[in-house]
Amino acid sequence: MPLAPYRVPIGTAEIRRHGSTATVVATSIMVSRALEAAEILAGEGIDAEVIDLRSLRPLDRPTLIESVRRTGRLLVVHEGVQTLGIGAEISALIAESDAFDFLDAPIRRLGGRDTPLPYNPVLEKAAVPQLGDIVAALRALAEGR
């Protein structure tokens, strides 16, 4: 935490890592996991751009659309359940925009399992995306799967 007071602009996403192979849109704790996955895959020639949404409403549509237009691939990673989650909304946003014409692979979503979040730490790790899940999804996306 910074010692000095600061403000986070609502409705403005932040590109935490610039890249050209794929766009990873993440929320909350998934941002740090996506950044770590991007660094791991950089050694394999997969150059992921990581976007931290910072707020869900308003959603920074222009930043997302511009990034997907440049990279041609999209992975949305969030901790909430995958069904009806923010990943579905972002997927729809891209599918309904002109960025859809720039996609080189299907949009991928990586969200929590469709179950109540367990209290047990071992089960919690199984219920939400982990670093290995993000690495595997990004690899598949870079390969066009």
C-alpha distances in Å from residue 113, one per residue of 55, 116, 136: 22, 8, 17
**How many domains are contained in the chain?**
1
Q: Is residue 124 part of a domain?
A: yes
- Whole-model pTM: value is 0.93
Q: Is residue 2 part of a domain?
A: no
Q: Is residue 8 part of a domain?
A: no
Q: What is the CATH number of the domain that holds 29?
A: 3.40.50.920
Mean pLDDT value across the chain = 95
Half-sphere exposure of 5 (CA within 13 A, CB side): 0
Beta-carbon contacts of 115 under 8 Å, excluding residues fewer than 6 positions away, are 81, 127
CB atoms within 10 A of CB 137: 21
Provide the residue range defining the domain that includes 24: 14-142
Beta-carbon contacts of 20 under 8 Å, excluding residues fewer than 6 positions away, are 47, 49, 70, 71
Check if the beta carbon of residue 30 is closer than 8 Å to that of residue 60: no
CB atoms within 10 A of CB 120: 9
Q: pLDDT grade, residue 28 (50/70/90)?
A: very high
Least confident segment among 56-60, 96-100, 106-110, 119-123: 119-123
Q: Is residue 5 part of a domain?
A: no
Q: What are phi and psi of 85, to 5 degrees?
A: -90, -175
Tokens of 12: 């403005």
Tokens of 50: 């990581």
Q: Nearest Cα to 141, choosing from 31, 50, 21?
A: 21
Q: Is residue 3 part of a domain?
A: no
Q: Is residue 7 part of a domain?
A: no
Tokens of 141: 């996306």
Integer-rounded Cα Rg, in Å, for the chain is: 15
pLDDT at residue 1 tops 80: no
Which pLDDT belongs to residue 144? Answer: 85
The fraction of the chain above a pLDDT of 70, given in percent, is 100
